[in-house]
Structure 1
Amino acid sequence: MNTGTTKFPNERLERIHTALAAALEPSFLEVSDDSHLHVGHAGAASGGGHYSVKIVSDRFHGLRLVMRHRLVYDAVAEMMRAEIHALAITALTPSESD
């Protein structure tokens, strides 16, 4: 699996990455912390971060966008309660990422 950035600047990024990798077995996965772009936002003030995910997985084959996003959200559901305020998702199949 190509994991994009291999260094994790914080524990949350690593936990998001690990959860998505385990649940969706991606061929590519990149997770970015965009929280610095949302300083002062209500979600940021409560401690929840803003993240972007680009993920390529065979598990998305034949699924509409909303179902692909549901799989991603399900994988990080535990973190959505307090640690993730917003998650921007790009979810592709291998043939769509070429």
Structure 2
Amino acid sequence: MQTMETEIRERLTRALAPTRLEVVNESALHAGHAGDDGTGESHFAVEIESAALAGQSRVARQRAVYAALGDLMQRIHALRIKAEG
């Protein structure tokens, strides 16, 4: 079974063909906080650069990331996004 971090990376790569992609599992920083489900896979940070995001507003870039992740967003409590085109 894949980790959530790996699945996030694969889905963003397939959908947005990034030139730079960093996915960081920040769940340990939030242990015991709201949204910590005990799996160690609830809080993530994504930094992505992709030509597919060029010319889009910040909100549109974030929506593109959410769309690429699809149903994974139901299992992620928090996702910090820095997206550039």
Same fold (TM > 0.5): yes
The Cα shift of 1:46 comes to 6.6
| Cα distance in structure 1, aligned partners of 2:14 and 2:5 | 14
Residues in 1 aligned to 2:35 and 2:68: alpha-carbon distance in whole angstroms: 20
Stretches of structure 1 lacking an aligned partner (at least 5 in a row):
1-9, 94-98
Corresponding residue for residue 63 of structure 1: 56
Q: Which residue identity lines up with residue 73 of structure 2 in the other structure?
A: M
1:44 partner SS: coil
User: TM-score normalised to the size of structure 2?
Assistant: 0.90
**Counterpart of 1:54 in 2: which secondary structure?**
strand
Aligned pairs for 1:1-98 within 5 A: 11-45=3-37, 47=39, 49-82=42-75, 84-93=76-85
**SS of corresponding position for 1:55:** strand
Uncovered stretches (5+) of structure 2, i.e. residues with no partner:
none
Q: Distance in 1 between matches of 2:82 and 2:34?
A: 24
Q: What percentage of residue pairs aligned between the two structures are identical? A: 40
Q: TM-score, normalised by structure 1?
A: 0.79
Higher normalized contact order (CA 8 Å, seq sep 6+, divided by chain length): 2
User: What are the Cα deviations for residues 18-53 of structure 1, in whole angstroms up to 9, with x where unaligned?
Assistant: 000000000010100000010111211375610000
Number of aligned pairs?
A: 83
